[in-house]
Structure 1
Amino acid sequence: MGAFPMTLDAGAATSLESWRDVLASAFVPLDVVSVGNRFHGRVHARPMADLQVSVVSSTRQVTRRTRGLIRRRAGDLYKVGLQLRGHGVVQQDGRTARLAPGDLTVYDTNRPYELVFDDDFEMLVLLVPRRRLKPRAPRVDDLTAVTIPGSAGSGALTSALLRGLDPRVARPGPEAGFLSDAAVDMLAACFAAQAEPPADTVVTAAQRYIDEHLSDPALSPSEVAAAVHVSLRQLQKLFERRGATITGWIRDRRLDRCWHDLADPALATRPVAAIAASWGLVDAAQFSRTFRARYGRTPREHRAQLVAG
């Protein structure tokens, strides 16, 4: 982006190429795919002390911040999106925020994210430097792409405040610094209101999800984290505090299921590889090595020992 914060009056575009240039100037480099046959977009931006308030109006599209674009130019900024018109979806860190008018969410320009707008839309975007928001909201990185409803509580108050800062009509003067502080404080209140579930509850839910999906070879830690509505990093830390990893837990649960099935007389004629595959372990050679490392004997030796006994 250019100088931050910046002023941009009616930066408009009628092609995707020019729209990418407008967005890169107002925010950070982004990739955009239009949905539909027509396209137009417009951005208004204005500084508010050390923050930037913008309104983006455009047609249906998918907007992405990729790792390649981040390497080209990092942002070190949080974006707070307030849906003004239409509906939007924001995805980051394995979470998905679904926004109706009045709802808001936060996302980090230094990590990949995706915005999906299936309708023509209007979104107010508040750019906040990391140094401003992180000290007031230490948990912000665990709450990216979480929907903050604008219908009640601190979400409603924050939504109303941000609407009042619409750069198309608001021209803050000497009070800009106070409004900037108020916006950051209200955002911190929103994040504080997102009660953190007890660690045991999160881990138990993750373990339950894993048990229910062991047969899927594609089961991954990121999928598990998304299913229990926490970031992958947060879930990894919770497992590490218990002396485990998510990947290791998935592997061990699969091996346990195979151990029991191999000991089941009703499954004595079922091939070892078929039993392993039924629990998501589709590489027979790798399964045999992993089983032996855990139990001290191969799957066939385990089955033969039980039969002999």
Structure 2
Amino acid sequence: MLDEMVFRSEDVPASDRFDYWVDLLGRTHAPMELRSDCADDFQASQRVLDLGAVTVWSATFQPLVFRRTPELIRQSDPEAYHLSLIVRGAGVGVWRHRETEYKPNDLFINSSSLPNDVHSTSDPAQTVALEVPKALLPLPRDTAGRIVGAPVSARDGMGALLARVLTQLTADTTTFHPCDGPRLGAVLTDLVAALFAHILEAGPCLPPETHRRALALRIQAFIREHLHDPHLTPSSIAAEHHISTSYLHRLFRDEDTTVAAWIRRLRLEAARRDLTDPALHAIPIHAIATRWGFPRAADFSRTFRAAYGTTPRGHRHQSLYGHE
């Protein structure tokens, strides 16, 4: 079973329930101002799944107003994108640039860095949500504004695919092990990247910068999906996306990295994750290295030490056995 935390309002005295809910959301999401006509005996539940860098949570709650102010953002900003599948209920999100109504089978996209008011008007409301660090999906501020609050249906297309994975994941976690969490987080990150690229490309007459950003997101998702491929190279990536290799390099130069460095970092992270996976403890280190694109053991050890300050063998022993 995946690592998870569960909160139920009935586990707390009635007079403390609303304040506890406010504190809980501040810790699992970001500090917010909350208001509710049901605050005297607030009914809510929340289940949070830890998927490494990504967090998934399902929640049921009475009518609420969530408010994220500039002051609260300056106080604490986890710098994450928040996506909620509306399972039951309705509401509206208000930002400086947009106001969007939501109903069941809609996806709600928000940012912890943008002031907003979210009104949930149903009793109860039910959502399934995930939060992805912005560092995994870097978007310029003007492009992020095109994403946040964009109306997205979960009935078809990319929205339906993401909603289906979220629903299945939260319905039953008993078939997963804790070490599956980071892998599932990576899958969800790829789906969110693909969804964002779809949204950015959907608008008519979009400026070149927006198309460039959508292409970069699509390429990043492609690279994550094909990290195992020993033939994953800048030229093969460029050919797959019908662009020149020089243009591909320019895209990544805008991200303050190179294509090769980005691929190497992802492969190192994947190998590092496998080295700490108890289910893979019997797999030789060189086999894990080869699986993630490092066929020469000496090169892998040198690159790993440069990135993490220890050898692959030392890292595995420290993680699995608590000593070198």
- Quickly name the TM-score band, shorter chain normalised: 0.5 to 0.7
1:9 to 1, 6, 11: 6
Q: Which amino acid aligns with 1:44?
A: R
Residues 148 and 121 of structure 1: CA distance in aligned 2, closer, same or farther (over 3 Å): same
1:144 equivalent to 2:148? Answer: yes
**Residue 190 (1) aligns with residue 187 (2):** no
CA displacement at 1:47 relative to structure 2: 0.5
| TM-superposed deviation, 1:45 | 0.6
Corresponding residue for residue 42 of structure 1: 45
Partner of 1:27: 29
Larger Rg: 1
Q: In structure 2, what residue type is equivalent to 1:74?
A: D
User: Is 1:81 aligned with 2:84?
Assistant: yes
For residues 126 and 198 of structure 1, what CA distance do their matches in structure 2 show?
A: 30
List runs of 5+ in structure 1 lacking aligned partners. 1-5, 201-309
CA RMSD of aligned residues (A): 2.8
Partner of 2:181: 176
Secondary structure, counterpart of 1:164 in structure 2: helix
- Name the aligned partner's letter for residue 92 of structure 1: W
Relative to 1, partners in 2 of residues 1:86 and 1:9: Cα closer, same or farther, differing over 3 Å? Answer: same
What is the Cα deviation at residue 79 of structure 1? Answer: 0.9
Distance 1:138 1:95, change over 3 A: closer
Q: In the alignment, which residue of structure 1 is the partner of 2:167?
A: 163
Task: Give the letter aligned to residue 163 of structure 2.
Answer: S
| Whole-angstrom distance in 1 between the partners of 2:139 and 2:206 | 23
For residues 53 and 68 of structure 2, what CA distance do their matches in structure 1 show? 23
Contact 2:6 2:45 in 1 (8 A): no
State the AA in 2 paired with 1:41. Answer: A
Q: Distance in 1 between matches of 2:22 and 2:73?
A: 15
- TM-score of the pair, normalised by structure 2: 0.54
Letter in 1 for 2:151: T
Structure with greater proportional helix content: 2
Q: Does the Cα contact within 8 Å between 2:43 and 2:62 map onto a contact in 1? A: yes
3-state SS of the aligned residue for 2:100? strand
Please give the alpha-carbon distance, in whole angstroms, between the structure 2 residues aligned to 1:179 and 1:185: 10
- Alpha-carbon contact 1:56-1:122 (below 8 Å) kept: yes
- Matches for 1:61-100 after TM superposition, within 5 Å: 61-100=64-103
Shift of 1:135: 6.4
Whole-Å separation in 2 of the counterparts to 1:123 and 1:45: 12
Cα distance, 1:26 vs structure 2: 1.6
| Aligned position for 1:56 | 59
Aligned partners of 2:167 and 2:91: how far apart in 1?
Answer: 17
Tell me by how many angstroms 1:25 deviates.
2.0
Mapped to 2, the partners of 1:131 and 1:138 lie a distance apart of 16
Q: 1:199 to 1:84 in 2, by over 3 A?
A: closer
Distance in 2, matches of 1:9 and 1:142, equals: 33
2-structure distance, mates of 1:67, 1:184: 27
CA distance in 2, matches of 1:20, 1:118: 18
> In the aligned structure 2, how far is the partner of 1:147 from the partner of 1:164?
23
CA contact (8 A) 2:55 2:131 kept: yes
The one-letter code matched in structure 1 to 2:203 is E
